Amino acid sequence: MIIVMKKGADKEALAEVKRRIRELGYKPHVIHGETRNVVGAVGDERGKTVLQALESLPGVETVLPILKPYKLASLEVKPDPSQVEIAPGLTVGGDRLVVMAGPCSVESEEQILETARSVKAAGAQILRGGAFKPRTSPYSFQGLEEDGLRLLVRAREETGLPIVTEVVNPRDVELVSRYADIMQVGARNIQNFALLKMLGQLDKPVLLKRGMATTIQEFLMSAEYVLAEGNRRVMLCERGIRTFETATRNTLDISAVPVLKAQTHLPVIVDPSHATGHAPLVPSMCFAAVAAGCDGLIVEVHPHPEMAVSDGPQSLRPNEFEAMMKKLREYAAVAGKKI
Amino acid sequence: MIIVMKKGADKEALAEVKRRIRELGYKPHVIHGETRNVVGAVGDERGKTVLQALESLPGVETVLPILKPYKLASLEVKPDPSQVEIAPGLTVGGDRLVVMAGPCSVESEEQILETARSVKAAGAQILRGGAFKPRTSPYSFQGLEEDGLRLLVRAREETGLPIVTEVVNPRDVELVSRYADIMQVGARNIQNFALLKMLGQLDKPVLLKRGMATTIQEFLMSAEYVLAEGNRRVMLCERGIRTFETATRNTLDISAVPVLKAQTHLPVIVDPSHATGHAPLVPSMCFAAVAAGCDGLIVEVHPHPEMAVSDGPQSLRPNEFEAMMKKLREYAAVAGKKI
Amino acid sequence: MIIVMKKGADKEALAEVKRRIRELGYKPHVIHGETRNVVGAVGDERGKTVLQALESLPGVETVLPILKPYKLASLEVKPDPSQVEIAPGLTVGGDRLVVMAGPCSVESEEQILETARSVKAAGAQILRGGAFKPRTSPYSFQGLEEDGLRLLVRAREETGLPIVTEVVNPRDVELVSRYADIMQVGARNIQNFALLKMLGQLDKPVLLKRGMATTIQEFLMSAEYVLAEGNRRVMLCERGIRTFETATRNTLDISAVPVLKAQTHLPVIVDPSHATGHAPLVPSMCFAAVAAGCDGLIVEVHPHPEMAVSDGPQSLRPNEFEAMMKKLREYAAVAGKKI
Amino acid sequence: MIIVMKKGADKEALAEVKRRIRELGYKPHVIHGETRNVVGAVGDERGKTVLQALESLPGVETVLPILKPYKLASLEVKPDPSQVEIAPGLTVGGDRLVVMAGPCSVESEEQILETARSVKAAGAQILRGGAFKPRTSPYSFQGLEEDGLRLLVRAREETGLPIVTEVVNPRDVELVSRYADIMQVGARNIQNFALLKMLGQLDKPVLLKRGMATTIQEFLMSAEYVLAEGNRRVMLCERGIRTFETATRNTLDISAVPVLKAQTHLPVIVDPSHATGHAPLVPSMCFAAVAAGCDGLIVEVHPHPEMAVSDGPQSLRPNEFEAMMKKLREYAAVAGKKI
């Protein structure tokens, strides 16, 4: 932490700041500037947020954090990329580009089986599908819940594809984990710390979706919640942030991919479906994400988007998905990955 | 819903759109324009989100919603302002300006009692204090939990002030409701629908804080979740949204006050502490909020902000709070409210 | 500037950073931390932006500015509030709340005269009206230009109200200054530095409107451009920033008022018309702005908003403006200002 | 335009809306809904912004635009991609990926020549360099102005690379056009309509950079200003928008590439240097931009970033640029483009 004193702050103010820094277990180090003084607080970084309260002392202008607040998620602690095993022979974070695909919501046996078969045929390695749906409106379809999970398992039995599905309530963690291969935390729950802590105690991979207004640093802090509880199989997913632009549902923050890669060892997935909200934009954003260096994609596919109970406009049809995958293989090859 | 057809979309495309509109239970109504056609879908508004999927039909350019998606929260359904009773003789939403004040976190008996006494003396009618703290970092203080709730009750017993405190986990709803007078949903949980549904089944007032990237429409939809379950004692709280500006912790969206007042009958509270993040900005934002027409304020007060375990920089000292309240009475009087 | 070294950066990297700091005329001061070193660069602040380039040196993690980059606009250089004289007996920035009112665009003699008379009768002290209009679309009305300026002068002659009007092209500065009492720089031109420099050489008050994505610091740097050229009669105007919220045209950043007051001696004006975009929201935002501590308001008034060539939806009718002014006097009194 | 009436608006209100629609030259078309009426205004789209003023009529809830406000920039008017000729044999917008590279500012003859040679050797086809610099601070380096233009011409003479450089003042358009091959409009001037109009009268290609808070629709309207004056050689450049995320200087809106491609025939360039602000992020964002379907890139390269007078941290060194270009060729090949 760097504590910047006000211009003209007196000696007493400076002495008090130094006293408090020591009291909190850090060593103060003063730089005497031309117009004002600056105090560094030297010591172990964790828990330093309490130093922020020094801003309330007289004579203090501002308190600037210097160090990143996460630890287990950082490359400093673990410099080599994490490889998250999903199933025997299927690992995210290595030289493979992993594609997860499927409908927004599980709607019926026919719908999920038809989708699972087609995405598998096109090269997807994991099936996505929502059984518990966090919907903005209480009057919208809320998901088939456990019935939906059972249908996903039906699809896995038939296709062999592992399944990723969302959990929204800490109470359901145990239930969902009995069916799912990957536990997904949606954008709206990225700071649902009760949920994150429970997932941290699970022996199951977790896919964390960045929230609409979550900074990259906060995103990594949410990952830290899971890691700190002992579960190291964490994947991060960029899915668009909320900005002023309305041409797309959200704004895909594509540079989050290299920024995350420079700060963390965790695999990075991109979700171009939620980021854009419009199916015609999805293929080029898949290509861009791979070129940016991501480890995987999660893409919405629906056999009849115009009939979908949720997210129809952003769902690819099976033939569109297949065409996208074909081109994707070429981009993945240039990026040094195979699908 | 208004479905805008593409320029040059053919008759078949139009016919298919009309067919699907009818199939979904609405009546299509076509306006033939000079360069393109527009189709209105007439019918009851709820559940109309499925119409959005028509965007996937060939020949459709875009689908525009016309009606607000909430119902119970709207002035159309209930044109007179709701008055939410907190305790005998204490109602939010009428001609009284209700001030809730207290520390971010309950830290100790001494701290909460000292604060409770001082905010009561200055005119606050409700005591705030966090026992379950959603913190960005897993290494930060997470709250005293049930012990914190007990200390809040101690403070209520001594001062008579009802207490408002946050609940973050659906599992804890019953526990917290045994202690609290108002159940607070924090900004991070405003789309934690599992939590909202449980609170909707409670016979207890609920204070909903707008999320950092929640639109006003989404905010009202979250209120609708609580209302739809039967609990009509809902209060809304504007607490700043996330923008590019870094001079303040968030940006207080002050115009949300009259916007909400024009759309809903629910009382509107403002939280200038979280909105600004800096104590010196809090008093003028309290005044502005009252002048904008809010029904109440929630303000962080701490006897020793420089020692606070959380949110020190944005907490007023008791004497600063007292001075603010003095001036606030004058503004409230002009706004036609008494404290 | 604080230069944060990477964890594990070697001695040579540190030595090179120190060498470059000295070369650029500053004194390096190293704080040896537990996991990394931090170097302060001590010296006069102006021009320190070149230090930012040190981020490109090996071993450097990040470069953090400590000091505010503006000087003439700061309270450190001039601790007492500036009073900007507009006309004999009319000063902005003192104990008077100055209200500027009038139509978005000057449309006709009848329109501007009718408006000028009514806003004067209601208590406005300055007449606003656009003659050069920066419009998003080339097909929209672009303003009456010099004819519009002449009509404004006609209105001034009749009512005695000084006039504020926008200049958009450096070429027109001399022309507009022959008619106007206050030169307005619109939000779209706040970083039109060529325009700012020319206005800095003028002996005429300047009203700077914050841009839609301009930080408060950048806003003050734009003021610095005018001040540095010698013109000290600068007023700042908060008019809403662009955010994700679409219920209002922009989001009024009301806390910008106390933030600016804490950093600069320049008067602060608020424009609730452009901030909200909807006339029904304007009165409460006028009240909030005064309670927040502003020095003045600029409000759009049009005799027939439904016929206005621009900004109709956000224009008050004369009787609405009059009612607003009546209540505003009460709020101003509490704020210690008279109108 | 769609005019949505308030619930319960009476016949007179509806009649008045219809009357005004006719008065403005459009045909009203009413859809009678269950709870409210909706009126379509049918007619030629240009100038329809005046219809927005109907929002001020009693009984009107909101006015929704249906059509895009631009015309010459749209694919509807010109369905095939525009090819902008820069120099004999060099066209932007076809099957070639055009790379513009060079320093942020022209600093000296040695600097610009060294850079020009190296970027040419690596495969860049156009040299960038700023002579007139819009800087946030009046105390920062403002550019070498005409001397800088002369140095750019020196570099063109030696390398044969056409030059792109920024013009910030309408007054300088003629001067800059004597030297430059492409006239660049910076992000801060994208709504400097006086400048745009002058460039529209020029016979020279124009590169328009999207503003930090400019929507895609506004961006196209700015292009329309140039096109409407007669200059059809317009290129659009996405360079990042301002969001809450601070890990990057701006947020590269990568989906703007396919969104623009679906709406306009104008070529789309991407500037990953300004978008990210950090050199290590630039190469992957170049790759992503090409995969997203852009027609060209503009990249900052400096022989000694740590000595640069501006934008050092985001400038690639020549060897880094060369390595990037090598890989870029592979991505371009997959995208069906050659460099």
Q: Which residues pair with D183 in a beta bridge?
A: D165, D206
Residue C211: per-residue pLDDT: 97
Taking CB atoms and an 8 Å cutoff, what residues of chain C touch D192?
A: 168, 188-189, 192
Confidence class of residue C337 from pLDDT cuts 50, 70 and 90?
very high
Residue C35 to residue A43, Cβ atoms within 8 A: no
Confidence class of residue B254 from pLDDT cuts 50, 70 and 90?
very high
Higher pLDDT, D83 or C66: D83
Closest partner CB to D33 (pick from B36, B42, B242)? B42
Residue B271: per-residue pLDDT: 98
A·B CB contacts under 8 A = 128
- Mean pLDDT over B233-262 rounds to 98
Extract the tokens encoding C256: 């910008």
Residue B76: per-residue pLDDT: 87
The answer to whether residue C150 scores a pLDDT higher than 60 is: yes
Distance from CA of D183 to the nearest CA of B (A): 30
Closest partner CB to D244 (pick from B44, B66, B244)? B244
Q: Which residue of A has its CA nearest to B229?
A: A138
The answer to whether residue C88 scores a pLDDT higher than 70 is: yes
- Mean pLDDT over B275-291 rounds to 98
Domains defined along chain C, listed by start: 2-64 (3.30.70.1140), 84-334 (3.20.20.70)
Of all residues in chain B, the percent with pLDDT exceeding 90 is 84
B·C CB contacts under 8 A = 119
Which residues fall within 8 angstroms of residue B110, CB to CB, at 6 or more apart? none
Confidence class of residue D35 from pLDDT cuts 50, 70 and 90?
confident
Compute the C-alpha angle A262/A266/A272, nearest 5°. Answer: 85
Query: Residues in chain B, how many?
Result: 339
The lowest-confidence range among A252-256, B35-39, B324-328, D254-258 is: B35-39
Which residues fall within 8 angstroms of residue B256, CB to CB, at 6 or more apart? B210, B216, B238, B268, C245, C247
What is the 3-class SS of chain A, one letter each residue? CEEEECCCCCHHHHHHHHHHHHHCCCEEEEEECCCCEEEEEECCCCCHHHHHHHHHCCCEEEEECCCCCCCCCECCCCCCCCCEEEECCEEECCCECEEEEECCECCCHHHHHHHHHHHHHHCCCEEECECCCCCCCCCCCCCCCHHHHHHHHHHHHHHCCCEEEECCCHHHHHHHHHHCCEEEECHHHCCCHHHHHHHHCCCCCEEEECCCCCCHHHHHHHHHHHHHCCCCCEEEEECCECCCCCCCCCECECCHHHHHHHHECCCEEECHHHHHCCHHHHHHHHHHHHHHCCCEEEEEECCCHHHCCCCHHHCECHHHHHHHHHHHHHHHHHCCCEC
d(CA C240, CA B253): 10
Chain D contact probe: residue of C191, C195, C301 with most D CBs at under 10 A? C191
Confidence class of residue A67 from pLDDT cuts 50, 70 and 90?
confident
The answer to whether residue C45 scores a pLDDT higher than 70 is: no
* Contact criterion met (CB below 8 Å) for B6 and B58: no
The answer to whether residue A102 scores a pLDDT higher than 60 is: yes
Confidence class of residue D69 from pLDDT cuts 50, 70 and 90?
confident
Residue B192 to residue A193, Cβ atoms within 8 A: no
Extract the tokens encoding B128: 């705030």
* Contact criterion met (CB below 8 Å) for C129 and C103: yes
The answer to whether residue A132 scores a pLDDT higher than 60 is: yes
* Contact criterion met (CB below 8 Å) for B177 and B202: yes
Chain D contact probe: residue of A210, A274, A284, A286 with most D CBs at under 10 A? A284
Residue B33 to residue D42, Cβ atoms within 8 A: yes
Confidence class of residue C64 from pLDDT cuts 50, 70 and 90?
confident
Taking CB atoms and an 8 Å cutoff, what residues of chain D touch B66?
A: 2, 4, 38, 64
Amino acid (1-letter code) at residue A286: C
Q: How far is CA A99 from CA A281, A283, B243, in A?
A: 17, 13, 33
Q: Which residue of C has its CA nearest to A44?
A: C34
Residue C51: per-residue pLDDT: 84
Residue C40 to residue A33, Cβ atoms within 8 A: yes
- Mean pLDDT over D10-26 rounds to 92
pLDDT digits (tens, 9 = 90+) for A161-195: 999 999 999 999 999 999 999 999 999 999 999 99
Amino acid (1-letter code) at residue B178: R
d(CA D36, CA D31): 9
Q: How far is CA D291 from CA C254, D95, D100, in A?
A: 42, 14, 17
- Mean pLDDT over D257-271 rounds to 98
The answer to whether residue A223 scores a pLDDT higher than 90 is: yes
Residue A45: per-residue pLDDT: 58
Residue C47: per-residue pLDDT: 58
Residue D7: per-residue pLDDT: 87
Distance from CA of A288 to the nearest CA of D (A): 4
Q: Which residue of A has its CA nearest to B316?
A: A56
Residue B57: per-residue pLDDT: 92
Residue D140 to residue C47, Cβ atoms within 8 A: yes
Compute the C-alpha angle C169/C173/C179, nearest 5°. Answer: 125
Which residues fall within 8 angstroms of residue C178, CB to CB, at 6 or more apart? none
Amino acid (1-letter code) at residue B34: E
Residue C233: per-residue pLDDT: 98
The answer to whether residue C44 scores a pLDDT higher than 80 is: no
Closest partner CB to A244 (pick from D215, D258, D335)? D215
Residue B52: per-residue pLDDT: 87
Q: How many Cα atoms within 13 Å fall on the side-chain side of residue B209?
A: 27
pLDDT digits (tens, 9 = 90+) for D275-298: 999 999 999 999 999 999 999 999
Residue D46: per-residue pLDDT: 58
Residue D115: per-residue pLDDT: 98
Give chain D's mean pLDDT.
95
Backbone torsions φ then ψ of B73, nearest 5 degrees:
-80, -10
Higher pLDDT, B38 or B67: B38
Distance from CA of B44 to the nearest CA of D (A): 7
Residue D68: per-residue pLDDT: 83
Higher pLDDT, A43 or D158: D158
Taking CB atoms and an 8 Å cutoff, what residues of chain B touch C280?
A: 258, 262
Residue B34: per-residue pLDDT: 79
Taking CB atoms and an 8 Å cutoff, what residues of chain A touch B171?
A: 170-171, 194
A·D CB contacts under 8 A = 119
How many other CB atoms are there within 10 angstroms of residue A285's CB atom? 30
SS3 (DSSP) at C201: coil
Taking CB atoms and an 8 Å cutoff, what residues of chain C touch D170?
A: 169-171
Backbone torsions φ then ψ of A105, nearest 5 degrees:
-110, 145
Residue B301: per-residue pLDDT: 98
The answer to whether residue A261 scores a pLDDT higher than 60 is: yes
* Contact criterion met (CB below 8 Å) for B155 and B163: yes
C222, C228, C232, C237: CA torsion to nearest 10: 0
The answer to whether residue B69 scores a pLDDT higher than 90 is: no
Confidence class of residue B166 from pLDDT cuts 50, 70 and 90?
very high
- Mean pLDDT over C288-293 rounds to 98
Answer left, alpha or beta for residue A123, where phi above 0 means left and psi between -120 and 50 means alpha. left
Residue D66 to residue B34, Cβ atoms within 8 A: no
Residue C34: per-residue pLDDT: 79
ipTM: 0.96
* D17 alpha carbon, distance to own chain's centre: 38
d(CA B251, CA C243): 10
Residue C192 to residue D192, Cβ atoms within 8 A: yes
* Contact criterion met (CB below 8 Å) for A34 and A43: no
* Contact criterion met (CB below 8 Å) for A37 and A9: yes
pLDDT digits (tens, 9 = 90+) for B73-97: 999 899 999 999 999 999 999 999 9
Residue C31 to residue A32, Cβ atoms within 8 A: no
Residue C244 to residue B247, Cβ atoms within 8 A: no
Q: Which residues pair with D99 in a beta bridge?
A: D297
The answer to whether residue B45 scores a pLDDT higher than 60 is: no
The answer to whether residue D48 scores a pLDDT higher than 70 is: no
The answer to whether residue A46 scores a pLDDT higher than 80 is: no
Of all residues in chain D, the percent with pLDDT exceeding 90 is 84
Give chain A's mean pLDDT.
95
Distance from CA of A74 to the nearest CA of B (A): 14
